[in-house]
Amino acid sequence: MWQIILFILIFGFITKYWIWLAIPIGLVLALKLLAIIYRELNPEAKKIYLEKKAKEAEENKKRKEQEVAEKRRKELERQRNRDADQQTTPYTYQIGKHGNESLAIRYGIANQERKVKEYWYYAKGGEKKRNPDRDKVFYEPASKIRLRKTRKVGKDLYEVLLTDFRDRKAKAVIEVGTEYVKTFYPLEDSWFEKHADLETTLKGNNSFTLKELATFHVQKTVGT
């Protein structure tokens, strides 16, 4: 019965100092009080209420356990696909400067992502507005690349299909257990001998964009 005493004290305090606030709060508390009194005077109703609460708690617990199990299953499935020697579906890996450069130099592919610099201006009255027609579009080296492993050919070395580039074949270095493509090797080992000058001139050369590196590859290798 302590709930009833506590309710009366709180309700009296609220109605004395915050009458307008007390009205809606008081109605809610009054309904709760009536429910408490009903359950106290009716043991069967109290039993049903407690059983209902226990059932709801059990159902919530099971639902959370199922959600955690499903999340764990999806994560394990993602990791298995990521680390498989032969993937059934493409996977998106992270890639850095060296990986993008090696792809451009050895395959003529510029792995870039489209960026938009929005144009905003202040209209009459000081209202800030955007004019999409004056947006500036530019490209930056991408931080991700989507591919599918088809065969393991060496330690951390795989033949892959570059899904975002018309399934171009390539060789990629990907350490097991990581999300990262370290670099791309040429399909043929003879590349390094045939195009040693291209590698020496372009590799690590920060004065060229990815698109320019890819263009040099095309110009140098087509017809050779």
Q: Verify that 71 and 95 share a domain, yes or no.
A: no
User: Of the residues 47, 79, 111, which one is the last residue of a structural domain?
Assistant: 79
| pLDDT score, position 126 | 84
Pairing of strands 91-95, 180-185: parallel
Q: Verify that 201 and 92 share a domain, yes or no.
A: yes
Q: Verify that 132 and 175 share a domain, yes or no.
A: yes
Q: Verify that 57 and 134 share a domain, yes or no.
A: no
User: Of the residues 52, 79, 106, which one is the last residue of a structural domain?
Assistant: 79
User: Of the residues 79, 110, 142, which one is the last residue of a structural domain?
Assistant: 79
| pLDDT score, position 223 | 53
Q: Verify that 70 and 92 share a domain, yes or no.
A: no
111 is in which domain, residue-wise?
A: 86-221
Q: Verify that 166 and 208 share a domain, yes or no.
A: yes
Q: Verify that 34 and 114 share a domain, yes or no.
A: no
Q: Verify that 70 and 94 share a domain, yes or no.
A: no
Residue with tokens 């009903």: 38
| pLDDT score, position 21 | 58
Please state the domain count of the chain.
2
Q: How far apart are CA 133 and CA 20, in angstroms?
A: 53
Q: Verify that 90 and 197 share a domain, yes or no.
A: yes
Q: Is the distance from CB of 214 to CB of 201 less than 8 angstroms?
A: no
| pLDDT score, position 51 | 79
Q: How far apart are CA 20 and CA 14, in angstroms?
A: 9
pLDDT along the chain (224 residues), means of 10: 60 58 68 72 71 84 90 93 95 96 95 94 88 92 97 96 96 96 94 88 87 88 63
Q: Verify that 62 and 111 share a domain, yes or no.
A: no
| pLDDT score, position 33 | 72
pTM (whole model) above 0.85 = no
